[in-house]
């Protein structure tokens, strides 16, 4: 009897604590003290051998778990429970510290150790029993219970020092199952808890970490991926999984990489993270499409990193490995935009230019670009040298880079040293390309330096490209630029041919006679040249300097393959800067005939590749040349090797983008259908994934610009997106994922084209999927399920996604209901029930309004009614079909009412008396009433789904409407209000209403023999997991 009284008092105290604990966090400390004092000293049920117990505490926890996630009462009580358990563990830690502090005191050491052991056993057993008890609910049918259990475990594992090994394994096994839960909130809490089971030792990867790596890559919920990313241990093995979230589809996850992960590493990110990975992360961050991600990355660079190096910009540039970086310029320009105090620290000492390092040259180049973009002319004059002085600096570093010794070879420069000089020269040339060469002395000095540099055979490609940019700036016009560039190419060819002749002469042992014969021939050729020149002067024709420059192209001896490659490289850099192909420019025409065309016909792959690239650049500026080259380029795509095929594809797509379809479908032109078939073959050929990506991106650009409008080609393009053979081409999938929505949501005609082929594509892909299910190679092939494909097609044809479209135009759009009608008209041909179920369960996703085509809506309603009457479907499909049926009936009824109102409105605007047909307004009113009665009777015969109560309501509404329609004149204000009500009805039907959230205190005064029923989950799911 005493035990029962004691248990009753403890029970009341615990219940009172839980009752008060839900009111706020302020009294939790006091409540924890009460719970400790309320613990009994006797053993009880479920706590055998435990020195104390809390009668009813587990029952109180059971009252907490079913509470919803957003309920503040539940959060407060979970906090109270976890604080109490953690406080017990903290008492053990304090007692252990006091025992350690009392070492050497023999009198008290034994008693303290015994008390510590007793306390540890008591707390350990209590935590063990408590966790095992709540684990019973981790597989509950109620998602709120599963969420609450995972939340409590996550908080406790964060604060507990140690637990029993068996309990550790039990918790880990249960949580591994919960991370696959269908509810996002449950998976998130399970991930939080599972992150406490990771092994922090370097070189080891625990099973929990492996599971988190899989979740951070593959979980469909952004919250789950974020939880795994931010709580995963950071080491060399896991950092790639973490950093790849910088390309996550969710902007918050991408932002967290910069604001949380990289920021937490501090200076260690420059040592522990691979420079290429860090460079890519910076590039992705500053170019991200979301402003918040860009801001986070810019703050990381301009504030956090620059502060870590104490404002030393050169030190930061060095850490970013500027000579190998693609993003360092963007990072430095970000600092210039956000930190004016750093800009003022840029050195203005001209003596630094004589001994530049790659970091300094890069800093000066970025600073010059910043000043030029912001028109800081005075700062440029103070900081940078004059053009003639800058040309001397370029010559100085060029001499150091390409200086030769007595043997003719480059002096002993290591490979890193050569790259450093190349980088410095490149930065100086980039600065020179933005210089003002109004000073003729500086212009001539720079021109000589650049022409001499471009004449070097061993010049790397980066300097060739920058040198031609400077050369164009120094040129008087484009014709002058082309002339100088081809003269350089001419000199390189002549030099190679002369070298071959010298080598041939040296190789001949007896060459006196041959030299005499050659001399005689040269004299004869010179005499003929003299006579022809005189004849030309007599006839009034002067010698053309451009034709004189082409004489070297008529040499019988050809240059070596290496020299031809060098010439083609320089010609491509020149052609990239040319915008027009003037018919009078004989040099450029002859370059095509003597250098580019032979290269295209060459058997050497490298020469052929460069030749096709040069030919493509020429085709972009000459439509006639492009027309004549289409057949050659198409044949190259068909039979060429992969590198050549890639370049030829790029050339073909660029030609269509520049010249449109003017290069095909005409007299002496290639048929466009030939190229359509060619593109389709490339898309299907999964052996060349790079070619597939280039073709897909190029075709979508052409379709987006309405250059290509062929429906069959577009259908083939969308079909290729879902082909199982292309599922492993990640770059292709990414290209489709971006290009298709951009195309469909850019214009109504684009979405109409997608709607016209959506049904056909879906059923063709459904057949392929059906065949894969029975195929022996199904395990080796992955393909999206038809329900996912249908959801994507519905999303792409959604008129609400179109840009720059008014609400009135959107609700009148018929594209999506046409897709639905096409699918329903063909669904009887589908034999597999599983595919039909996938269609039925997603049919409610189609956008239906009363402003759409009424005939189509009635046809859809007729088909759905027939399906419900004649086809056996499960409850999920039936609910989805009936929901769509109700929406259709409501839309059709509202459309009918609106048509009657419009007719009545037209009649009300006429004057009293006869109308054009001789009928009075009263006669029109009577006719409308009779028509309304007939429509009501027809409607009642075709719809039998409503009960008697609904019929009464419907009858009352019809009677009231008939009475209102008997009036000959109606107020215009009432008509506008009726239209407004119709619009609001459409919005209510197509938009889900958010349930009202209410908060109610939970009573913890539990009567006897009362069980708490758990909430049930909703079963009306119409979309597959």
Q: 453 Cβ partners below 8 Å, 6+ apart?
A: 394, 398, 459, 463, 467
- Paired with 670 in beta bridges are 664
Burial 964-990 (b: 16+ CB within 10 A, else e): ebeeeebeeeeeeeeeeebbebbeeee
DSSP tag of 996: P
Of the given ranges (380-389, 824-833, 904-913), which has the lowest mean pLDDT? 904-913
pLDDT score of 930: 52
In the predicted model, is pLDDT for residue 199 greater than 90? no
CB 861 within 8 A of CB 853: no
Confidence label for 56 from pLDDT (cuts 50, 70 and 90):
low
pLDDT score of 588: 81
Which has more confidence, 13 or 962?
Answer: 13
Confidence label for 547 from pLDDT (cuts 50, 70 and 90):
very low
Total residue length of the chain:
1025
Q: What secondary structure does DSSP assign to 529-587, as a single string?
A: HHHHHHHHHHTTPPPPHHHHHGGGGG-SSPPPHHHHHHHHHHHHHHHTT-----TT-HH
- Paired with 410 in beta bridges are 404
pLDDT score of 720: 93
How far apart CA 94 and CA 558 sit, in angstroms, is 90
Confidence label for 950 from pLDDT (cuts 50, 70 and 90):
very low
pLDDT score of 978: 44
Of the given ranges (20-34, 169-183, 418-432), which has the lowest mean pLDDT? 20-34
Q: Three-class SS of residue 281?
A: helix
Residue linked to tokens 């880079």: 401
Which has more confidence, 970 or 495?
Answer: 495
794: which 2 tokens? 């519905």
CB 82 within 8 A of CB 189: no
pLDDT score of 776: 63
CB 590 within 8 A of CB 553: yes
pLDDT score of 976: 43
pLDDT score of 763: 94
pTM metric for this prediction = 0.74
How far apart CA 304 and CA 270 sit, in angstroms, is 13
For 480-519, how does the pLDDT look when each residue is reduced to its tens digit (9 = 90+)? Answer: 999 999 999 999 998 988 888 888 887 766 555 455 455 5
pLDDT score of 111: 67
- Give me the mean pLDDT over the 795-810 stretch: 93
CB 257 within 8 A of CB 281: yes
How far apart CA 356 and CA 994 sit, in angstroms, is 65
pLDDT score of 773: 84
CB 740 within 8 A of CB 796: yes
Which has more confidence, 18 or 308?
Answer: 308
Of the given ranges (354-363, 696-705, 912-921), which has the lowest mean pLDDT? 912-921
How far is the first Cα of the chain from the last one, in angstroms, to the nearest whole number? 56
On average, the pLDDT of the chain sits at: 80
Long-range pairs, 933-938, Cβ under 8 A, ≥24: 933/962, 935/896
Distances (CA, A) of 433 to 325, 429, 1016: 21, 6, 71
In the predicted model, is pLDDT for residue 910 greater than 70? no
pLDDT score of 518: 54
In the predicted model, is pLDDT for residue 844 greater than 60? yes
104: which 2 tokens? 């050497």
In the predicted model, is pLDDT for residue 859 greater than 70? yes
- Give me the mean pLDDT over the 945-954 stretch: 42
In the predicted model, is pLDDT for residue 988 greater than 50? no
For 384-429, how does the pLDDT look when each residue is reduced to its tens digit (9 = 90+)? Answer: 999 999 999 999 999 999 876 444 455 568 889 999 999 999 999 9
Cβ burial, residue 1022 (10 Å; 0-12/13-18/19+): middle
688: which 2 tokens? 């060349």
pLDDT score of 115: 72
Count of Cβ atoms closer than 10 Å to residue 711 Cβ? 10
Q: What secondary structure does DSSP assign to 393-421, as a single string?
A: HHHHHHHHHH-B-TTSSBPS--HHHHHHH
Minimal CA–CA distance to 397: which of 366, 418, 367, 369?
Answer: 418
In the predicted model, is pLDDT for residue 542 greater than 90? no
Distances (CA, A) of 815 to 147, 810, 818, 844, 853: 42, 10, 5, 16, 10
pLDDT score of 865: 93
487: which 2 tokens? 């003269």
How far apart CA 119 and CA 50 sit, in angstroms, is 11
- Give me the mean pLDDT over the 843-858 stretch: 93
Which has more confidence, 141 or 55?
Answer: 141
For 682-736, how does the pLDDT look when each residue is reduced to its tens digit (9 = 90+)? Answer: 999 888 999 999 999 999 999 999 999 999 999 999 999 999 989 889 999 999 9
For 92-149, how does the pLDDT look when each residue is reduced to its tens digit (9 = 90+)? Answer: 777 777 776 665 554 455 666 777 777 777 777 878 888 888 888 899 999 999 998 9
In the predicted model, is pLDDT for residue 1016 greater than 50? no
Most confident of 336-345, 769-778, 963-972: 336-345
């Amino acid at each position: 009897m005493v035990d029962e009284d004691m248990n009753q008092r403890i029970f009341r105290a615990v219940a009172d604590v839980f009752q008060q604990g839900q009111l706020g966090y302020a009294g939790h400390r006091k409540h924890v003290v009460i719970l400790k004092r309320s613990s009994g000293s006797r053993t009880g049920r479920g706590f055998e051998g435990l020195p104390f117990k809390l009668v009813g505490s587990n029952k109180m926890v059971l009252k907490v778990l079913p509470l919803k996630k957003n309920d503040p009462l539940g959060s407060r009580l979970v906090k109270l429970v976890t604080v109490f358990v953690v406080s017990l563990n903290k008492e053990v830690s304090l007692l252990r510290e006091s025992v350690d502090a009392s070492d050497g005191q023999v009198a008290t050491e034994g008693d303290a150790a015994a008390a510590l052991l007793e306390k540890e056993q008591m707390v350990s057993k209590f935590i063990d029993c408590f966790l095992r008890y709540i684990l019973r609910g981790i597989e509950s049918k109620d998602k709120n219970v599963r969420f609450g259990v995972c939340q409590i475990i996550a908080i406790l594992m964060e604060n507990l020092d140690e637990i029993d090994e068996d309990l550790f394994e039990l918790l880990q096994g249960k949580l591994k199952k919960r991370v696959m839960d269908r509810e996002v909130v449950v998976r998130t809490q399970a991930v939080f808890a599972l992150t406490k089971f990771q092994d922090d030792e370097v070189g080891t990867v625990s099973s929990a970490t492996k599971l988190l790596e899989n979740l951070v890559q593959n979980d469909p919920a952004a919250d789950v991926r974020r939880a795994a990313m931010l709580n995963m241990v950071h080491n060399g093995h896991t950092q790639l999984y973490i950093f790849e979230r910088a390309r996550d589809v969710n902007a918050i996850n991408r932002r967290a990489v910069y604001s949380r992960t990289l920021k937490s590493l501090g200076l260690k990110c420059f040592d522990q993270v691979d420079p290429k990975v860090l460079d890519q992360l910076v590039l992705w961050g500053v170019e991200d499409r979301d402003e918040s991600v860009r801001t986070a990355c810019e703050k990381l660079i301009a504030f956090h990193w620059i502060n870590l190096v104490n404002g030393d910009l050169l030190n930061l540039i060095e850490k970013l490995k500027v000579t190998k970086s693609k993003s360092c310029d963007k990072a430095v320009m970000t600092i210039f935009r956000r930190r004016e105090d750093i800009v003022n620290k840029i050195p203005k000492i001209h003596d630094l230019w004589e001994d530049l390092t790659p970091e300094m040259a890069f800093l000066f180049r970025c600073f010059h670009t910043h000043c030029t973009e912001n028109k800081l002319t005075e700062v440029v004059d103070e900081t940078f040298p004059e053009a003639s002085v800058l040309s001397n600096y370029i010559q100085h570093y060029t001499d150091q880079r390409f200086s030769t010794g007595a043997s003719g070879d480059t002096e002993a420069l290591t490979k890193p040293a050569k790259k450093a000089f190349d980088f410095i020269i490149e930065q100086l040339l980039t600065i020179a390309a933005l210089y003002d060469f109004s000073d003729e002395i500086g212009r001539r000095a720079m021109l000589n330096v650049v022409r001499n540099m471009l004449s070097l055979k061993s010049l790397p490609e980066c300097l060739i490209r920058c040198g031609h940019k400077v050369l164009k700036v120094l040129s008087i016009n484009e014709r002058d630029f082309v002339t100088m560039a081809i003269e350089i190419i001419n000199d390189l060819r002549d030099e190679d041919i002369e070298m071959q002749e010298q080598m041939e002469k040296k190789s001949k042992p007896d060459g006196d006679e041959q030299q005499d014969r050659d001399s005689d021939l040269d004299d004869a050729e010179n005499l003929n040249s003299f006579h022809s020149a005189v004849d030309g002067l007599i006839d009034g024709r002067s010698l053309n300097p451009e034709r004189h420059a082409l004489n070297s192209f008529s040499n019988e001896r050809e240059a070596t393959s290496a020299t031809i490659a060098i010439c083609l490289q320089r010609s491509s850099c020149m052609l990239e800067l040319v915008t027009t192909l003037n018919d009078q420019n004989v040099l450029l025409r002859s370059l095509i005939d003597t250098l580019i065309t032979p290269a295209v016909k060459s058997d050497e792959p490298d020469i052929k590749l460069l030749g096709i690239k040069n030919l493509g650049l020429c085709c972009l500026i000459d439509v006639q040349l492009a027309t004549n080259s289409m057949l050659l380029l198409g044949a190259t795509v068909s039979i060429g090797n992969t590198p050549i095929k890639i370049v030829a594809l790029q050339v073909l797509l660029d030609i269509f983008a520049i010249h449109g379809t003017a290069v095909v479908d005409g007299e002496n032109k290639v048929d466009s259908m030939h190229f359509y078939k060619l593109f389709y073959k490339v898309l299907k050929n999964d052996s060349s994934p790079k070619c597939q990506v280039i073709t897909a991106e190029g075709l979508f650009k052409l379709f987006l610009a309405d250059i290509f409008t062929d429906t069959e080609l577009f259908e083939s393009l969308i079909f290729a997106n879902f082909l199982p053979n292309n599922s492993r081409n990640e770059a292709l999938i990414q290209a489709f994922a971006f290009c298709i929505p951009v195309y469909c949501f850019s214009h109504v005609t684009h979405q109409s084209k997608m709607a016209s082929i959506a049904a056909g594509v879906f059923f063709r892909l459904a057949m392929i999927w059906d065949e894969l299910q029975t195929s022996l190679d199904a395990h080796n092939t992955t393909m999206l399920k038809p329900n996912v494909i249908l959801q994507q097609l519905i999303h792409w044809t959604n008129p609400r996604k179109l840009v720059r479209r008014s609400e009135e135009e959107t609700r009148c759009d018929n594209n999506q209901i046409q897709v639905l009608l096409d699918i329903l008209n063909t669904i009887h041909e589908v034999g597999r029930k599983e595919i039909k179920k996938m269609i039925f369960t997603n049919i409610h996703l189609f956008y239906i309004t009363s402003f759409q085509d009424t005939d189509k809506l009635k046809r859809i309603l007729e088909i759905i009614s027939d399906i419900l009457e004649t086809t056996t479907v499960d409850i999920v499909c039936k609910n989805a079909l009936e929901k769509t049926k109700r929406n259709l009936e409501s839309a059709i009824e509202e459309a009918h009412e609106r048509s009657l109102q419009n007719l009545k409105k037209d009649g009300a605007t006429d004057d009293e008396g006869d109308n054009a047909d001789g009928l009075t307004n009263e006669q029109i009113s009577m006719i409308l009433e009779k028509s309304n009665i007939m429509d009501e009777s027809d409607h009642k015969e075709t719809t039998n789904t409503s009960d008697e109560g609904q019929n009464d309501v419907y009858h009352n509404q019809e009677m009231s409407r008939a009475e209102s329609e008997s009036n000959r004149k109606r107020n215009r204000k009432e008509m506008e209000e009726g239209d407004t009500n119709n619009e609001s009805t459409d919005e209510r039907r197509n938009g889900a209403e958010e349930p009202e959230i209410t908060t109610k205190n939970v009573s913890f005064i539990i009567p006897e023999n009362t069980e708490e029923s758990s909430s049930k989950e909703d079963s009306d799911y119409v979309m597959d997991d």
